[in-house]
Each structure stands twice: as C-alpha cells, then as structure tokens.
Amino acid sequence: MEGPAAPHHSLRSWRDPAAGPFRHVTTDDLGEPVPLAGPPRRVVSLVPSLTEALAVTVPDRLVGATDWCTHPAGLDVARVRGTKNPDRAAIAALGPDLVVCNREENRRLDVDRLRAAGVPVWVTVIETVEEALASMRRLFAEVLDVGEPAWLTAAAREWSRPALSPSRRAAVPVWRDPWMVVGPRTFTGDVLARLGLANVFGAGEDRYPHVAVDDVLAARPDVVLLPDEPYLFTADDGPEAFPGVRSVLVSGRALTWYGPSLATARAQLLAALGDR
C-alpha cells in the first residue's frame, strides 16, 4: 500500500463523556481515521501475523482470516481468500466491526473498497521491531481495549536487549525463479541488524529487489539465510545455488512475523546461526 505513516494519535477515548457511551474515533498507523462504536467484537484479519496475535489474545473475537493464516494450528474461522485478493463480499457477510490489514501485505484498493462499504479498517505499518511492538500495543490496548498481552510484554523484554555489533554480512532470499531478496526498510532487515547481521541488499529503493544468483554471490555475504516462507527453502532446494557460502535454513515465522512469535524469535534465530 502507498502512503507515508503518520504520527500516532487518538482522537477520542472510549469513555469520553462528551462523545457519549462508547463513541470512538482513532487513527491507524497511516493516520487514517477509524470510527468504531465500541471495542470490536467481530474482527477479520488479512495478515497472518495479526491473525495469530488476535487468535492467541482475543480468540472469541476473530471471525475471519486469509487462507495463508496458518497459526495457531487448528484455527477454526471463516476463510476469505488471500492477502492480495481477499473476498470482500465474504468479509462483509461476516459482519465485522473491524478488519485489520498491513500496508506491505495488503492492497490499498481492498482497504478503500471495504471502507467505502462501511467496514472499519485498521492498517498497520511495520518496518522495524519497535514499530511492531508499538503497533501491537495500540491495537490491543487502544482499539480492542484488552490491555497489553503477556506475549507482547515478553517480546518487548526480549528485543530490548542491545543490538549485536555487525559482524557478518547476510543475504536473505524470499523467493526463487525469479530470485527475490530482503531489501531496505523492512521488518526483516531490522531483525537482521539487531542480530548483528549487515544486509548486503540493505541499500537502494526496492524493498524486495529481484536479483540473479550472481548478484548475491557478488555481494559477498558471509551467510545466506533461507526461510521456509513465503518460498519453502529446504536443504535440497536453495543452498546449492550459493556454493562456497554458508547457508542457514531458518523459520520464516521467526524472521518475518511480528505477532506472538516475537517473544521467541530472537533466541530461535541466534540458535540457528550458532550464536547461542
């Protein structure tokens, strides 16, 4: 989605006497107003990370999610197709009080058309760990009115540890045929930096540039991290493309998700790298 993030601010609190009972207007991470009649009780999520966060924290309120929402296991809610092609009619039929999206993962077109149909939409903007923590706090404490979840408190504590000094250069492919890698201004890039890894594709304009294998090798990474999503890299599919460079298979959820997995992602990734 396009558009810069705006400063976070709430226009009214839930219990502002001048606004009447449960009259509330807040702004999402893009600064767009989100009118709500009260704390949402029927929520549809179009982002796997947000789906897991909602399912773990307010399971009774989550009524719909995408086909890509795989966590927690056994999630039993209505499915509304994908992140880039959601079934807007199916979403509306669920009668949601709120739909939660992300600027990177969802299309502006779908957000605009849902809003035009009278469905409140909350858009998150998450390009750093700090933005993830702050955005999740707002969603749960301000919008859903349930306070800060325990997993979020644990994640904040874990990621408050000082960032490790850059000691290795890393490349992170996220797709092959064509090859794509993590570029600048991404949540994953910030995770890498905090783990002491310098992203060899961390400069430029494209956040997920298309590259050739020779481009990766020419960048001289010390390590290539191969996540299991969105492309499922395996021991037999990925490492062979980078002869002479250490390849490490890692959890895509630990590397790219910003829900409850944040509480364990740092330790998990450091263990995969052999740093713990």
Q: What is the pLDDT of residue 184?
A: 94
Q: What is the pLDDT of residue 239?
A: 97
Give yes or no for a contact between 237 and 211, defined as CB atoms under 8 angstroms apart: no
Q: Which residues contact 16 (CB under 8 A, 6 or more apart)?
A: 23, 24
17-148 shares its CATH topology with 168-273? yes
Residue 241: pLDDT band (50, 70, 90) is: very high
CA separation, residue 93 to residues 114, 261, 270 (Å): 12, 31, 44
**Rounded to the nearest 10 degrees, how much is the dihedral formed by the CA atoms of 191, 197, 201, 203?**
80
Residue 85 has pLDDT above 60, yes or no: yes
Average pLDDT of the residues in 255-276: 91
For residue 215, report the phi and psi dihedrals to the nearest 5 degrees. -65, -40
Distance (Å, whole) CA 71 – CA 55: 8
Q: What is the pLDDT of residue 214?
A: 96
What is the pTM assigned to this prediction?
A: 0.86
Residue 1 has pLDDT above 70, yes or no: no
Distance (Å, whole) CA 165 – CA 194: 8
Residue 99 has pLDDT above 50, yes or no: yes
Residue 101 has pLDDT above 50, yes or no: yes
- Among 25-39, 60-74, 100-114, 144-158, the range scoring the smallest mean pLDDT is 25-39
Work out the number of other CB atoms within 10 angstroms of the CB of residue 130. 13
Where do the domains of the chain lie? 17-148, 168-273
Q: What is the pLDDT of residue 165?
A: 81
Q: Which structure tokens are listed for 22? A: 């449960």
Which residue's structure tokens are 């408190």? Answer: 153
CATH number assigned to the domain covering 168-273: 3.40.50.1980
Residue 39 has pLDDT above 70, yes or no: yes
Count each helix (H run) and each strand (E run) in the chain, helices first.
9, 14
Distance (Å, whole) CA 107 – CA 85: 8
Give yes or no for a contact between 99 and 46, defined as CB atoms under 8 angstroms apart: yes
Say how many Å lie between the first and final Cα of the chain, rounded. Answer: 37
Residue 6 has pLDDT above 90, yes or no: no
Q: Which residue has the higher pLDDT, 16 or 210?
A: 210
Q: Which structure tokens are listed for 113? A: 């058309």
Q: What is the pLDDT of residue 2?
A: 42
pLDDT tens for residues 176-202? Answer: 999 999 999 999 999 999 999 999 999
Average pLDDT of the residues in 133-159: 95
Q: Of all residues in the chain, what percent carry a pLDDT higher than 70?
A: 90
Average pLDDT of the residues in 3-14: 42
Average pLDDT of the residues in 246-269: 95
Residue 170 has pLDDT above 50, yes or no: yes
Distance (Å, whole) CA 199 – CA 219: 10
Q: What is the pLDDT of residue 11?
A: 37
Q: Specify the CATH superfamily of domain 17-148.
A: Nitrogenase molybdenum iron protein domain (3.40.50.1980)
Q: What is the pLDDT of residue 276?
A: 56
Query: How high is the mean pLDDT of the chain?
Result: 90
Average pLDDT of the residues in 139-166: 92
Residue 8 has pLDDT above 50, yes or no: no
Distance (Å, whole) CA 195 – CA 197: 6
Q: What is the pLDDT of residue 275?
A: 67
DSSP 15-47: T-GGG-TT-EEEE-TTS-EEEESSS-SSEEE-S
Distance (Å, whole) CA 190 – CA 259: 15
